[in-house]
């Protein structure tokens, strides 16, 4: 197998390869760009016009997606996967991956869309580097752009595999991409309704890609992801890479069973007095009754559930002041699709 196909090994060792470019027997080019960053370019005759960015390890302890990207890249390097798309593989936060920790100093997935300019430290520098790598990769005109940023969650979820779809004013959601996610085993999609500072929001709003954050189960250490079943996603990614996806006969039928949610409110932690009135082990997508006191903060600030059919995701009272401590969501209605 080509040495550059072992990007995860190189990243874990903190090793920069001497040979930066290698070719597969089929003529695909593997090019090492930076730590945790490798570009795959198919032969000119094979190229189908898709630019695919696959990122994982933005949070260093979310290892199942890292292992998935490692398997895909090794398959390409061995000649088992024959790419027709350009692909950029990114392991987002190498120091955190090596430590097996969510981050070193600050959550890198809150440092995009200009936020890294307001901070110092390794994560801020890496967020800047990731933006540049993505912008360079997506700079070729007249090509289709797709980004999956793969994660696992801090806690268990009643809906285990779900996606977050960024928002941009006046831009409809893609029915084709929702059907593709559903075919990949994604059970629900959360439709954001305002700008965000995540990696997928950056590539969506600034680079014009169809971009998604994928939550794929609970975060576990390397080698302990047997309970995280990514078979459908892995098969779909293989099909995307090789340009052999089965086309749905009826896209509406393909969406049958896919649940769409909208953000009702974000719960922002303003001070150290913040209290989140939820059980420590509450699962993502747990339903909350109308009238439930969700959280309190200084100056008598209270968040009370007012929305029927409300659910909670990403509750985390330990975030830094000024950041989101939870999201209250409701079933989406009147979604603009194209």
- Residue 89: CB atoms within 10 A of its CB come to 24
Where along the chain do its domains lie?
A: 3-254, 265-331
CB 240, CB 50: distance < 8 Å? yes
Q: Which pLDDT tens digits describe the chain residue by residue (338 residues)?
A: 789 999 999 999 999 999 999 999 889 999 999 999 999 999 999 999 999 999 999 999 999 999 999 999 999 999 999 999 999 999 999 999 999 999 999 999 999 998 999 899 999 999 999 999 999 999 999 999 999 999 998 889 999 999 999 999 999 999 999 999 999 999 999 999 999 999 999 999 999 999 999 999 988 988 888 888 999 999 999 999 999 998 765 555 457 789 999 999 999 999 999 999 999 999 999 999 999 999 999 878 999 999 999 999 999 999 989 889 999 999 998 888 88
CATH number of the structural domain 3-254: 3.40.630.10
pLDDT (tens digit per residue) in 319-338: 989 889 999 999 998 888 88
State the DSSP string of 227-264. T---HHHHHHHHHHHHT-PPPPS-HHHHTTT-EEEEEE
Please name the residue that has the structure tokens 């085993």: 185
Q: Cβ contacts of residue 121 below 8 Å, gap of 6+? A: 104, 105, 106
- Contact between 330 and 309 under an 8 Å Cβ cutoff? The reply is yes
CA distance 67 to 81: 16
Distance CA 162, CA 215 (A): 5
Three-state DSSP class for residue 185: coil
Active-site residues: which are they? Answer: 215
According to the model, what pLDDT value does residue 257 have? 84
Please tell me the class of the 265-331 domain. Answer: mainly beta
CA-to-CA distance for 210 and 52, rounded, in angstroms? Answer: 10
What are 93-127's pLDDT values in tens digits? Answer: 999 999 999 999 999 999 999 899 989 999 999 99
Which residue numbers belong to the known binding site?
A: 59, 62, 151
Positions at the binding site for Zn(2+): 59, 62, 151
Q: Tell me whether domains 3-254 and 265-331 share a fold.
A: no
């Amino acid at each position: 197998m080509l040495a550059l196909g072992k990007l995860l090994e190189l990243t874990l060792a903190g090793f920069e390869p001497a040979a930066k470019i290698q070719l597969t027997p089929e003529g695909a080019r593997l090019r090492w760009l930076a730590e945790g960053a490798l570009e795959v370019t198919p032969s000119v005759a094979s190229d189908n016009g898709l630019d695919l960015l696959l990122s994982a390890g933005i949070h260093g302890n979310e290892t199942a997606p890292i292992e998935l990207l490692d398997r895909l890249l090794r398959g390409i390097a061995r000649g088992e996967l024959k790419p027709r798309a350009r692909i950029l593989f990114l392991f987002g936060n190498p120091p955190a991956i090596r430590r097996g920790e969510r981050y070193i100093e600050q959550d890198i997935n809150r440092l995009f869309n200009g936020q890294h300019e307001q901070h110092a430290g390794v994560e801020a520098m890496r967020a800047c580097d990731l933006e540049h790598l993505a912008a360079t990769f997506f700079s070729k005109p007249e090509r289709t752009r797709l980004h999956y940023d793969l994660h696992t969650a801090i806690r268990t979820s009643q809906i285990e595999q779900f996606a977050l779809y960024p928002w941009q004013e006046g831009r409809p959601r893609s029915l084709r991409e929702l059907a593709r996610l559903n075919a990949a085993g994604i059970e629900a999609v959360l439709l954001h309704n305002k700008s965000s500072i995540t990696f997928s929001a950056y590539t969506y709003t600034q680079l014009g890609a169809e971009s998604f954050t994928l939550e794929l189960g609970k975060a576990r250490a390397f080698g302990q992801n047997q309970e995280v079943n990514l078979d459908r996603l892995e098969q779909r990614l293989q099909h995307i890479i090789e340009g052999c996806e089965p086309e749905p006969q009826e896209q509406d039928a393909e969406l049958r069973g896919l649940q769409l949610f909208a953000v009702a409110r974000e719960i922002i932690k303003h001070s150290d007095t913040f209290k989140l009135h939820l059980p420590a082990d509450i699962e993502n997508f747990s339903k909350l009754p109308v009238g439930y006191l969700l959280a309190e903060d200084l100056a008598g600030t209270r968040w009370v559930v007012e929305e029927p059919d409300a659910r909670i995701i990403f509750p985390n009272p330990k975030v830094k002041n000024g950041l989101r401590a939870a999201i209250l969501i409701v079933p989406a209605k009147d979604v603009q699709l194209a």
